[in-house]
Amino acid sequence: MDFSKPDNARTINRLKVLSELRKGECSRAELSRRLGINKVSIGDMIQDMIGEGLVTEGKKDMSAPGRPGTLVSINRSAGRVFAFDLRPRSVSVSVSDTLGHVLRFERFPRNEDAEKNIRHAVEKMSAGSDAKIFGSAVISSDDTFDTSFFPKPILMVPRAMAEAEAEIAKTEHLDGFLFLSWSDTFDAALYKGEIIPLPTLPHMKAQKDGICSCGGKGCLEVAASGKTLMERTGALSVKDLVRNTGYAAAVKEALRPIAVALSEAVQATSADSVMITGELSALPDSAYAYLQNLLSSLLPPSRNVIVYRALSGENGTREGAAIAALDVFFYRTQLLRKLNALQNYF
């Protein structure tokens, strides 16, 4: 893209305005100050975006000195993104607005009726609204499910990255966090200015025995995944592992190989903290204290790595997937980051 061309520069400035309004409502004058774009240009862009239905006007800004300006904000109803979470035993569909808030959500068993149920859910969630559908995010660890009928374009999002997006949206200062998604399977990601997938972490050696689907021996996946624990205990679901205290001993034993894998991972990645996400993140405080003690005993005394529980729980997957889809299809976050890096470089 040639940023010297007026049309391209205007497109970039529009994206900057949308990205800033994503943080919350703001006056035109404040947008001009924050973004360094003159007030006339800001006013013209806002007026255009109001006409397009992307931005709405609200109340007067009484906090600023002088004549109060009108606050503007993202029109949450301007568009929709879908998220499809394809798990070994279930599939779910959710639709979110332009701020990533989940509007509707449905889950079905992963059986012969799954495709029909998903088609019906998409039709139902799309009906009664003229909002543009920007696209879909798909969270899946396999490629056996037919996604050809999902709203296009489609963004594939690793589970841990989606859950990390949800936590970063809720909490500041998560730079340096290692996210371990613990559900049917494991997934992992690292946040250092951007979210970096860590697909090999679930296959780090965490115990002596057990053959993993990857062909390795003693991988974290075969040692402590939700699937492994269900097979070991007879639990009917991952949620059952958390809710039923009869499985507490098996879950506690699984924390040992998790601590082993995390001790290796935080040293390899220089992570400062760990956050457990996914369905099994809903374990009680006592389990987190036990995991913290195990991890601390395996790390050098100089490494004070704290283990946290995710705020979003299992909702984080669909919330974060929507955020990731909006980043790509609507706000073009990656483009703005690259442009900002180039400007700082020169």
Total number of residues shown for the chain:
346
What does the pLDDT look like over 237-284, one tens digit per residue? Answer: 999 999 999 999 999 999 999 999 999 999 999 999 999 999 999 999
Instruction: Give domain status of residue 335, yes or no.
Output: no
Q: Based on the fold, state whether residues 95 and 214 are members of the same structural domain.
A: no
Instruction: Give domain status of residue 343, yes or no.
Output: no
Contact 71, 26 (CB under 8 A): yes
Instruction: Give domain status of residue 306, yes or no.
Output: yes
In percent, the amount of the chain with pLDDT more than 90 equals: 79
- What CATH number is associated with residue 84? 3.30.420.40
Q: Which of 76, 64, 108 lies closest to 89 in space, CA to CA?
A: 108
Instruction: Give domain status of residue 332, yes or no.
Output: no
pLDDT band at residue 287 using 50, 70 and 90 as cut-offs:
very high
Report the alpha-carbon distance of residue 233 to residue 246 in Å, rounded: 9
The residue among 60 and 73 whose pLDDT is bigger is 73
Instruction: Give domain status of residue 221, yes or no.
Output: yes
Q: Based on the fold, state whether residues 178 and 285 are members of the same structural domain.
A: yes
Q: Based on the fold, state whether residues 192 and 283 are members of the same structural domain.
A: yes
Contact 159, 167 (CB under 8 A): no
The residue among 335 and 3 whose pLDDT is bigger is 335
Average pLDDT of the chain to the nearest whole number:
91
Instruction: Give domain status of residue 326, yes or no.
Output: no
pLDDT at 2 over 70: no
Number of domains in the chain: 3
pLDDT at 22 over 90: yes
Report the alpha-carbon distance of residue 205 to residue 207 in Å, rounded: 6
pLDDT at 4 over 60: no
Q: Based on the fold, state whether residues 83 and 65 are members of the same structural domain.
A: no
Q: Based on the fold, state whether residues 55 and 184 are members of the same structural domain.
A: no
DSSP, res 205:
B
Instruction: Give domain status of residue 342, yes or no.
Output: no
- What is the pLDDT at residue 298? 97
Query: By residue range, what is the domain housing residue 98?
Result: 79-157
Q: Based on the fold, state whether residues 178 and 263 are members of the same structural domain.
A: yes
Contact 110, 164 (CB under 8 A): no
Instruction: Give domain status of residue 220, yes or no.
Output: yes
Residues whose CB is less than 8 angstroms from the CB of residue 57 and which lie 6 or more positions away in sequence, other chains included: 50, 70, 71, 72
Provide mean pLDDT across the span 142-170. Answer: 92
Provide mean pLDDT across the span 60-80. Answer: 80
Provide mean pLDDT across the span 57-78. Answer: 79
